[in-house]
Structure 1
Amino acid sequence: MSITDVTGGTPAAFGASAKPVPARGPDASTSGTAAPATGRGGAVDTVTLSREAVRAMKAGTISFTVPMADGAAAKDPVAAGMDAVLARRDYDLKQADYMREAMGMLRQTLNLPEDQPIFLGGAAHGLLEKLAAKNGLSRPEMPDALRAAGVKDPFAEDAGAEAGVIGVGMPNSGKELQVVFDRLGLAGRSAKTDDPLRMIALKDGNDHGGPLLGAIKGGTLGRLTDTRPGQGASLWAVTDEGEGPNARVLASVRSVGMDGVATDLAAGLLKGLKGLFAGS
């Protein structure tokens, strides 16, 4: 898959000009991140947490609802609660090992350097799980004690989402690039054509920028695409039919300080995603 930048170069900063600052990721006010997991070669991978987990972390406490279905729990709720805490600790350790191995597979598939931080959200979690399963790696089963306590897999709902996001960054620089993709649109395209996609800069003075930006905000990609103006960020729409009225926006690309490599990097990520969809 190739992407043609039909706007002829790097766009001006999206919206009002502003001093570049590190971009805030999708749903950053509520999603949060887990403690970085150091992978091979010192790589740092980041995964999103559920809103409930973030609130618990900010409050400095994580609580469990202890089920009282049997007599043992009723007689000794402290012991039952400790069982849940220990089960959670064991589950989290297994989950961390799983994510470390799965993210290593994703790096190889998308040809990403091991020292480049990665951020995942939405349907990207589902693709990660499919890639891991294809390579014989299964996600740890949640212990019965946690299920009984009402604990849910924070990635289960995201895995089937209509849109996903993969973000990459440059270590210790504040520079990052986020690609938000339409899962169904990209999956459908992967089985039909190898025609190049078009990457259109959404910048001031571009007559086609308004409708494409509106399509992003009001469509599948809107929840995960950071469309705030300024911040030194640049924004593109990736379409299958150029800039015309029939163009379908399959992805959005947002860059902070990575405009020079945005087209090539986005093309590589989308090509890798297409391969994952074709093999799923």
Structure 2
Amino acid sequence: MSITDVTSSTPAAFGANAKPAPAKGPDAATSGTAAPTIGRNGTVDMVSLSPDAVRAMKAGAISFTVPKADEAAVKDPVAARMETMLARRDYDLKQADYMREAMGMLRQTLNLPEDQPIFLGGAAHGLLDKLAAKNGLSKPEMPDALRAAGVKDPFAEDADAESGVIGVGMPNSGKEMQVVFDRLGLAGWSAKTDDPLRMIALKDGSDHSGPLLGAIKEGTLGRLTDTRPDQGASLWAVTDRDGESNARVLASVRSVGMDDVATDMATNLLKGLKGLFAGD
């Protein structure tokens, strides 16, 4: 059975004194035209029924289902924007609490002092979430209102990146150290507890500097490693073998003004990362 929507071109009658026109022709009950009804506002409603519908009504076999209105379609735009704003504020507050607790766990795991600012990038966000989950801390869920508005977790795509970075700074000094790591490389190294890591300084004129620097720039570490020589920066390659041709570069360490502590800090940080990967 097909349904055709027909809109009459005949103007409707308006006004409180409007009277329905008398039916002409055959009886309405047999012709399929129901008697018009007058609404509370004086409007006249005229319903035309097919002969089949009239017979179904007489037999008591007809029913009507009123579809539910689409909530999104009828929602007030101002109310929708307000709902999104409130959801964003609530989510941001929960996210801030989560990051504060999770970063505290990360500091403790990596033995990083409270007075040293740290920042994360790439796969380091994934490690942070794993560490939090292991310690019973749940990451806030994105509210449906924000998802509908197209808001995305800014760290979701980075969590499974091939490389990550953890930066450590000295307050009000301009001194900083960045450790960029190969996520898959460190995960494989963590399973080999007897393999030591070696930090090899990349200096001009060194036989190892050229190949190792090339491996950093062209490999997974290149996206996050700052290889610029300015600011008096020093750069190290962290490998699983000392200068061998098949040595794999698992991390890079860049220091600005922290050369005296870079080796110890980077070694301890990488050991902490090894522990995180070993727990996967």
TM-score normalized by the length of structure 1: 0.74
1:230 to 1:72, Cα distance in 2 relative to 1, 3 A: closer
Q: Tell me which amino acid in the other structure corresponds to 2:148.
A: A
Say whether residues 1:98 and 2:98 are aligned partners.
yes
Say whether residues 1:107 and 2:113 are aligned partners.
no
User: Post-superposition shift, 1:278?
Assistant: 0.6
User: Post-superposition shift, 1:98?
Assistant: 0.2
Query: What residue number does 1:197 align with?
Result: 197
Q: Is the 8 A contact 2:103 2:128 kept in 1?
A: yes
Question: Partners in 1 of 2:143 and 2:208 — Cα distance?
Answer: 52
User: Post-superposition shift, 1:244?
Assistant: 2.1
Q: Tell me which amino acid in the other structure corresponds to 1:246.
A: N
Question: Partners in 2 of 1:141 and 1:268 — Cα distance?
Answer: 33
Q: Describe the SS at the equivalent of 1:255.
A: strand
1:12-58 CA distances to partner (integer Å, 9 max, x unpaired)?
xxxxxxxxxxxxxxxxxxxxxxxxxxxxxxxxxxxxxxxxxxxxxxx
Q: Is the 8 A contact 2:189 2:195 kept in 1?
A: no
Query: What residue number does 1:238 align with?
Result: 238
Say whether residues 1:139 and 2:139 are aligned partners.
yes
1:60-113 CA distances to partner (integer Å, 9 max, x unpaired)?
xxxxxxxxx944555511210111111011100000000000000011101111
1:193 to 1:72, Cα distance in 2 relative to 1, 3 A: closer
Query: What residue number does 1:181 align with?
Result: 181
1:190-246 CA distances to partner (integer Å, 9 max, x unpaired)?
112332211111111112101111100110100010011221100000001112211
Query: What residue number does 1:228 align with?
Result: 228
Q: Is the 8 A contact 1:120 1:165 kept in 2?
A: yes
Q: Is the 8 A contact 2:182 2:221 kept in 1?
A: yes
Q: Tell me which amino acid in the other structure corresponds to 2:100.
A: R
Q: Is the 8 A contact 1:118 1:168 kept in 2?
A: yes
Q: Describe the SS at the equivalent of 1:96.
A: helix
Query: What residue number does 2:82 align with?
Result: 82
Q: Is the 8 A contact 1:73 1:79 kept in 2?
A: no
Query: What residue number does 1:165 align with?
Result: 165
Q: Is the 8 A contact 2:125 2:155 kept in 1?
A: yes
Written as runs of structure 1 = structure 2, the 5 A alignment for 1:52-71 is 70-71=70-71
Q: Describe the SS at the equivalent of 2:231.
A: coil
Q: Describe the SS at the equivalent of 1:181.
A: strand
Q: Which moved more, 1:97-106 or 1:200-209?
A: 200-209
Say whether residues 1:272 and 2:261 are aligned partners.
no
Q: Describe the SS at the equivalent of 2:113.
A: coil
Corresponding pairs, count: 212
Unaligned runs of 5+ in 2: 1-68
Question: Partners in 1 of 2:75 and 2:83 — Cα distance?
Answer: 14
1:243-269 CA distances to partner (integer Å, 9 max, x unpaired)?
221110000000000000111000000
Q: Which structure would you say has the larger Rg?
A: 2
Identify which of structures 1 and 2 has the higher relative contact order when contacts are C-alpha pairs closer than 8 Å and 6+ apart.
1
1:237 to 1:211, Cα distance in 2 relative to 1, 3 A: same
1:75 to 1:272, Cα distance in 2 relative to 1, 3 A: closer
Query: What residue number does 1:218 align with?
Result: 218
Q: Describe the SS at the equivalent of 2:84.
A: helix
Written as runs of structure 1 = structure 2, the 5 A alignment for 1:248-263 is 248-263=248-263
Q: Which runs of 4+ in 1 moved over 6 A?
A: none
What fraction of aligned residue pairs are identical, expressed as a percent?
88
Q: Tell me which amino acid in the other structure corresponds to 1:107.
A: R
Q: Describe the SS at the equivalent of 2:204.
A: coil
1:107-153 CA distances to partner (integer Å, 9 max, x unpaired)?
11011111110110011111111110111000000000001111111
1:195 to 1:71, Cα distance in 2 relative to 1, 3 A: closer
Q: Tell me which amino acid in the other structure corresponds to 1:126.
A: G
Q: Describe the SS at the equivalent of 1:221.
A: helix
Question: Partners in 2 of 1:149 and 1:73 — Cα distance?
Answer: 14
TM-score normalized by the length of structure 2: 0.74
Question: Partners in 2 of 1:130 and 1:277 — Cα distance?
Answer: 10
- RMSD of the TM alignment (CA)? 1.3
Question: Partners in 2 of 1:229 and 1:70 — Cα distance?
Answer: 60
